[in-house]
Structure 1
Amino acid sequence: MPSSDTHGDTKQATAVGLTDLIRGVIKMAPSAPSMIKHAPGLIHRPPEAKRTIGSIFQKHAGAHPDRPFIRFEGRSLTYGEVNRRVNRFAALLSEDGVGKGDVVAILSKNNPTDLMVMLATVKLGAVAGMLNYNQRGKVMAHSVSLLDAKVLIHDPDCVEGFESIPVESRPPHVYDFAELDAAAEGRSEENPAVTATLPASTKAFYIFTSGTTGMPKASVMSHNRWFANLSGIGGLAVRLRHSDTMYVPLPLYHNNALSVSLGSVLASGACIAIGRSFSASKFWDDVILNRATAFCYIGELCRYLLAQPEKPTDRQHAVKVIIGNGMRPEIWDEFSERFGIERIVEFYGASELNLAFVNAFSVKRTAGFCPLPYKIVEYDDHGEPRRDEQGRLTEVAKGGTGLLIAEISERVPLDGYTDAEATEKKVIRDAFTDGDAYFNSGDLVRDQGFAHIAFVDRLGDTFRWKGENVATTEVEAALDSFPAVAQSVAYGVEIEKADGKAGMGAIKIRDGEDLDPKALADHLYGHLPSYAVPLFVRVVEDFEQTSTFKNRKVELREEGYTKAGDDAVYVLAGRDKGFVDYYDDYPADVANAKAPKG
C-alpha cells in the first residue's frame, strides 16, 4: 500500500490518548446542558421533520428580534431587521416564479445581502446556487449551466464574473443588489407560509467543487445535512453562547462559512460578523471592530497570520475559540499561544461528503472524531481502493494511513452532486459485503485512535491550494490553450511550511515558438481563478508516450521544482510581473506570503 508517513502536515499528528480525551471531557462540563440539547440532532435527524435553515432562523427572529444577527464593518443588523428584509426578498422571488426545488443563482462577494438572499431562497424551499466569484469564462458559464436557475442575483463588485456569463445562459430574472432592493420595496414582511411545511430532506444550496473532470461540480447540501453541522460541529464542538459573535473572513460560497459558521451561529442564536475579504495585516483590526469572540479559518489563513510581525492587536481581541480545517500540527501550539486562543476546533469534511470529523474534545493536533460509520482502507498506485482476491477492501492496521471511505445508509444518506453519474463514480459498492455502499472521499488520513483522524493528503489529480480544490485537467486546459504551448501536464507540489500543494505545470513549447512568460501569466489569469494559476512552470523537451503518461506525471511531481535538471523553471511573481526566472528564496517567499503578489 502506498505510504505517506513522511508527509510534513502529519508528522506531529500523533495518536490520541485516553488522558487527552478525559481532559477534554472535563473542559466540556460547563457546556453540558447545551451539548445535551444538540446531541440528538447528530444521532437522529428524520428527513421528514419540518425543520430547515429558514425555520430555525425565523424562530430566533421571533423570539429575540432585537438581538444582533449580522455585523459588517462594525455595524449591526438585528434578527428582526434581517428577517423582515429576507421576507421581502422571498416575496419578490416568489412573484418571479421561484418555488420548492427551483434555483436562485447568487454571485456575490462577502456582504450582508449575500447571506440574506440565501436565507430568502431557502425559506421558499428553493436552492441557493452559490457561485464562486473567482470563476471566469467557460468555467463560469459551465457552473451557471449546471444550476438552470430561474433568478440570478449579482453583486456589482463581481462584474468580471457576471460578464463571463453568456447573455443566452442567463435566467429570465436578473437583479443586481440595487435592483433587488428596489423591486422588493413594499413587499410582504411576513414569514412565507411554505417555510413551515418544508421537510429537512429539501435541498438547501449548491456548493461548487472542482473535480477530476476539470470542470466544477455542484455538490448538494440538504437542510438535513446542514443540521448535522449545526448539531455536531456548532452545538457539540464550537458551543457558542447567544452573546458570542462568529467572524467569517472566508467567502460565503465556502462551506466553512455557509454551513459550519452559520450553523454554529444559529445553534445558539448568536451573531455572524462577515468580513468583506481576508487581509492578514488588517485581520485582527476587523475582528476587534466587529467585537468577535470566535472566527472560522482554513490552514492557509492561520499561516498568513503567523507570518505577520507581532503587534499589540495580537492579544487585544476577545476571540477564545476558532473553527476550521487545515491547521498544521507544527503551528498549532504557536498559533494558540501567540494569539491567546483557548480552543482550536479543527474538523475534517467536504462539500459532498456525508460525514464530518470534529475536534469536540479540544485535543491538540487532530481533525477530530466522528461517531458515524467509516473505514480507512488500503489504496493502489492510482489512489483507488485496493481490492483483494475476493474483491473486497482491506482496512489499514490500527494507527495506519489510508483512504477514507464513508458508509452510505438510510441513517447517513448521500446528497452527492447535481450530476448523478458524477456521484455514482464516487460510490464504492460491495466493499466488504454484498450490497454495501461507501463514498470515496479521495483523501488520505491517519487513524489516531478513539475514532479520531489526522488529514494527510488529497489523492488523485485534484490538489488543494488556498483552501480550494484545483483540478489538474482544468489547469492543463488553460495551459494548452496558450498559442506557444504544444502540450502540458499539471500537478501539485509541496512547499515547506505551506498548506496544501502549489500548482506546477510542465509544458512543451511548439516548434518555432518562443515562450513569453508574462503573456503566459496574463493568459492563465484570464482563464483560471487566481488560486488555480500554477506557481511554477517547467519547460520540458518532450513527454513520454501516452501509454506511460501517468507514470511520467508521478515522476514530474516527485521531481518538483528542485530536481528539474537543465529544464528552465519559472515562478509566478503576481499579476503585474507574471512569471519570472526561478530563484532560491521563492518557496520561502510563498510560505511567508511574500509571493506571488496580486
Structure 2
Amino acid sequence: MLLEVIIHEVLILALIFIISWFFLTNRRYRYLYIIYKTLPRDLTALVRFGRLKYQLKTWVDSGMTIPKVFRTHVARHPNRVAFHFEDTYWTFQEIEDFSNRVANYFIKEGYQKGDSIALLLENRIEYVGIWLGLAKAGIITALVNTNLVSLPLLHCITVSHCKAAIYGSDYVDAIDGIRDKLQGMKLYEFITKDDVKAKDSDIDLKKELQNQPKSCPIERMDESNAKDKLIYIFTSGTTGMPKAAIIPHCRFMYGSLSLYCMSNLNDSDVFYNPLPLYHSAGGIVGVGQCFLFGLTVLIRRKFSASNFWKDCYKYKCTATNYIGETCRYILAAHNKDEPVPKHKVTKMVGNGLRAEIWEEFQRTFNVKQIFEFYGSTEGNANLINIDNTIGAVGFVPPLAPSSVYPVALIKCDDETKQPLRNKEGFCIRCGLGEPGLLVGKIDAKKSINQFAGYVDQKETNRKILQNVFSHGDSFFNTGDVLMKDELGYFYFVDRTGDTYRWKGENVSTTEVERVVSEIVGLKDCVAYGVEVPKHEGKAGMLAIVDADDKLDKEALVEQLKTHLPSYAIPLFLRITRSVPMTGTFKVKKNELRKEGFSEVTGDEVYFLDMKSGKYVPVAQICDKLREGTLKL
C-alpha cells in the first residue's frame, strides 16, 4: 500500500516536472500567457464568425440577391422607416415601390442583364433606390465618385463599359465637360432641385419614373443569383488610375454581414451613415444594414462634424460608421468646456482611427465600443478589432491553424515593396513585430476568400500573387504593409505603391502626374504623399522640374482645379532642377517622401493657400504646419 502511494506521488511529480519543463523551456510558457489573454476574445469571435459564415452560405446556396433579401424585410415590416434623409424619410415599402419603377423603366428602355450604367448623384435616398432598382433588372451600377471631373470622370465611365449615365442636377457641369467624348451615350438627368429643368438633350429621369408601374419585375429578378455582378465601386488600389472593382451580390453580403455580425448589431439598432454612398464604407457597410438586416439607416448629404452628435440624438441612433478623419474632425469640433452631447450611440464601426486620439475620443463621447477594421473594397484579407484594443485593425487567433482564416504577412523589399522569395521560390513569412505585405489566400469556392477582381482583367492579374507558399496557390496582394504581435493583433503601417490617402479618399499619384503632364504640359513631374503633423493620411506634394524658372504657378492651380477633384490637388509644390533617380532611371520617391515639405534643401517649396487659391512660400506657414494648427 505504501509502495503504491509512493509510486503514485512519484508519477505525479514526474508529470508536473515534464509539464513544467515543456512550458518553461524555449519560452513555451508564453503559450499559457497567450491563451489566457486571447481565449475570451477568440471564443467570442468564433461564435460571431460562425454566425457570419452560416448566414452567408445560406444566402448563396439558396440563390439570394440583395433585392431578394430586401423584399423579405419589406414583407416583414413595410411601414418601418428604412432611410432618414434630412427632414424626410422613406419606409421599406416606399423604397420597394421606387426601385420597382426604376427597374421597370430601364427594362422597357431595352437594357439587358449584365449591362452597366454609371450613377453620379449626391447622397440621398433616391441614390440607393436607383441602384437597387437597376439590380432588380440585372443591370450593374457603376458608383462614380462625385468629386471627379474631366479625364478621371471620363475614365471611370468608359472603363466600366457603361451604356448610359444617370447624373444629378448638381453635376451638369461635370457631365458637360466630357459630353463630347461620351460618343452619343444615353444620359439621364435626375432633378434634385425644384427650380431646375433637365437639359433638352437629356432624359428627365424623375419625370419618366412617375408613370412606371410599382409591380416587382419578378421574372427578371429571378434571373440573378448571389454570384452575379451587382455594382462597381472605384478604387485607386495602389497604382494607376481608378479601377472598377467588381462587387457581386455575395461580396456585398459579406461586406455588410461581417460588420453586422462581428460588431453584434441587431435589427433594433438605428444606424447613422454620414459617409459617401459611392464608397464601400458608406455604400456597402452603411446601406447594407438596411437592405440585408432591416435596420433604419440615416443618410446625410455631407459629413458634418458639428452636427454629428446632434443628428445621432435627433434620430436616436445607436450605431454609426466612421473613417479616421471624421473622428478627428468630431473631436476638434467639440468644445471641451461644454458637456458631452447627448446620444445613444454605443458602437462605432470604421477604419483609420489614429491610436493617438482613440482613447480620448472614446472617453470624451462615452462610446462603449470601437470596432476598427481593415479591409479593401475588392480584397479578401479583411480584419476587425472587436475588443477595443487601441491601434489594432483586427486579429487572427495566434494559435489557430492558418487554414482557419488564411491571411499572412510576407517579407518585401524596403524600396520596391515587392515580395521577397527564398531559394525554393516561395514567399517568406514575417516574424512577430516585423512589417510585411498583407496577403489573403484566394479560394473561388468560398465566398469569404473569393477575389472578384476588376472589370479590367490586366488590373486583376496585377493584384494576384502566384506560388506564394506552395505550388499552385494564389493570394490577393493588398498592397498594404502591416505588422502583427504575439497576441495576433494586426497594426497598419503604411500603403505601398503610388497611392496615398487624404481627406478620406485614395489619391493615385499616377492620375495626378497624368493630368499635369497631358493637360498642363509639364512632362518632368513627380507626385507623392507627405506626412503633415496631427493629420491623418498624407497630403499631396508635386515636384516639378523647372530649370528655366518658367513655371506659371497661378495657371497651374487653375488647371489642377479644372481637371482634378479637390482632395487630389497637391497642397505642396516643390520646384526643383532635377529629381533623384536610381541606376535604372526610376524616381526615388521614398527619398522625396522622407524630405517632406520641411526638410528640403536647395529647392523652393510652396503651399496652396485655400483662401487666395495661390501657391505661397511654405516658409511663411511652416511653423503652423509643424504644430498642426493650420486648418487643411
TM norm structure 1 = 0.89
**2:165 is matched by which residue type in structure 1?**
L
Cα separation, partners in 2 of 1:211 and 1:229, compared to 1, 3 Å: closer
Q: Can you give the 5+ residue segments of structure 1 that lack an aligned partner in the other structure?
A: 1-15
Paired residues of 1:360 and 1:368 also in contact (CA < 8 A): yes
Alignment counterpart, residue 405 of structure 2, candidates 344, 348, 372: 372
Q: Secondary structure at the residue paired with 1:569?
A: strand
* Other-structure match for 2:467: 430
Aligned-residue offset at 1:585: 4.9
What amino acid is aligned across from residue 376 of structure 1 in structure 2? L
Give the deviation of 1:575 after TM superposition.
Answer: 6.3
Paired letter, 1:282: N
SS at match of 1:65: coil
User: Which of 438, 442, 445 is the equivalent residue of 1:404?
Assistant: 438
Partner of 1:476: 513
- Are the equivalent residues in 2 in contact too, given 1:484–1:510 (CA < 8 A)? no
Aligned position for 2:11: none
TM-fit CA distance, 1:313: 7.3
Give the AA of the match of 1:325. Answer: N
Q: For the residues of structure 2 that align with 1:213 and 1:359, how far apart are their CA atoms? A: 28
Q: 1:266 to 1:443 in 2, by over 3 A?
A: same
Q: Deviations over 1:156-202 (max 9, x none)?
A: 11223222333451665322223222111232212221324421101
- In structure 2, the CA distance between the partners of 1:523 and 1:558, relative to structure 1 (3 Å rule), is same
Distance 1:223 1:308, change over 3 A: same
Distance 2:366 2:394 in 1: 21
Q: 2:111 aligns with which of 98, 112, 115?
A: 98
Residue 207 of structure 1: aligned partner: 233
Is the CA contact (8 Å cut-off) linking 2:580 and 2:587 kept in structure 1? no
Report the number of matched residues: 575
Q: Percent identity, please.
A: 34
Partner of 2:270: 245
Query: For residue 429 of structure 2, what is the aligned residue in structure 1?
Result: 395
Residue 284 of structure 1 deviates from its aligned partner by 2.6
1:176 to 2:189 alignment:
yes
Q: Which moved more, 1:166-175 or 1:433-442?
A: 166-175
Which amino acid in structure 1 is aligned with residue 211 of structure 2?
G
- Kindly tell me: are residues 405 and 36 of structure 1, through their superposed partners in 2, closer, same or farther at Cα, counting changes over 3 Å? closer
The residue correspondences of 1:431-470 to structure 2 (distance < 5 A) are 431-449=468-486, 451-470=488-507
Which residue of structure 1 lines up, in the alignment, with residue 101 of structure 2?
88
Letter in 1 for 2:209: A
User: Contact (CA 8 Å) 2:82, 2:297: kept in 1 or not?
Assistant: yes
- Give the letter for the 1:41 counterpart: Q
Q: 1:163 to 1:284 in 2, by over 3 A?
A: farther
Q: Match of 1:3? A: none
Distance change in 2, residues 1:490/1:40 (3 Å): same
Larger radius of gyration: 2
Return the alpha-carbon distance in structure 2 between the equivalents of residues 482 and 198 of structure 1: 43
Give the Å deviation of 1:141.
Answer: 0.9
| Structure 1 residue 66 corresponds to structure 2 residue 79 | yes
* 1:401 to 1:62, Cα distance in 2 relative to 1, 3 A: same
Asked if 2 retains the 8 angstrom alpha-carbon contact of 1:45 and 1:224, the reply is: no
- For 1:352 and 1:325, how far apart are their aligned partners in 2? 16
Determine whether 1:382 maps to 2:416. yes
Q: Which stretch shifts more, 541-550 or 244-253?
A: 541-550
Q: 2:55 aligns with which of 20, 28, 41?
A: 41
CA separation of 1:106/1:459 partners in 2, compared to 1, >3 Å: closer, same or farther? same
**Contact 2:541/2:573 (8 A) holds in 1:** yes
1: CA distance, partners of 2:457 / 2:627: 39
What is the deviation of 1:305?
1.4
User: Residue 445 and residue 28 in structure 1: after superposition, are their counterparts in 2 closer, same or farther (change >3 A)?
Assistant: closer
| Equivalences for residues 77-476 of structure 1 within 5 A | 77-169=90-182, 172-178=185-191, 179-193=204-218, 194-211=220-237, 214-234=240-260, 236-310=261-335, 312=338, 314-369=340-395, 372-380=405-413, 381-409=415-443, 410-411=445-446, 412-449=449-486, 451-476=488-513
Match of 2:67 among 45, 54, 72: 54
Conserved? CA contact 2:481–2:495, under 8 Å: yes
Check conservation: 1:98, 1:126, Cα contact below 8 A. yes
Change (3 A) 1:239 1:587: farther
Structure number with the bigger relative contact order (C-alpha 8 A, sep ≥ 6) is: 1
Q: Choose from 573, 582, 587 the match for 1:537.
A: 573
SS of alignment partner, residue 345 of structure 1: strand
Of 556, 562, 577, 1:520 maps to: 556
Separation in structure 1 between the aligned mates of residue 457 and residue 525 of structure 2, nearest angstrom: 30
Change (3 A) 1:190 1:165: same
| Alpha-carbon contact 1:485-1:509 (below 8 Å) kept | no
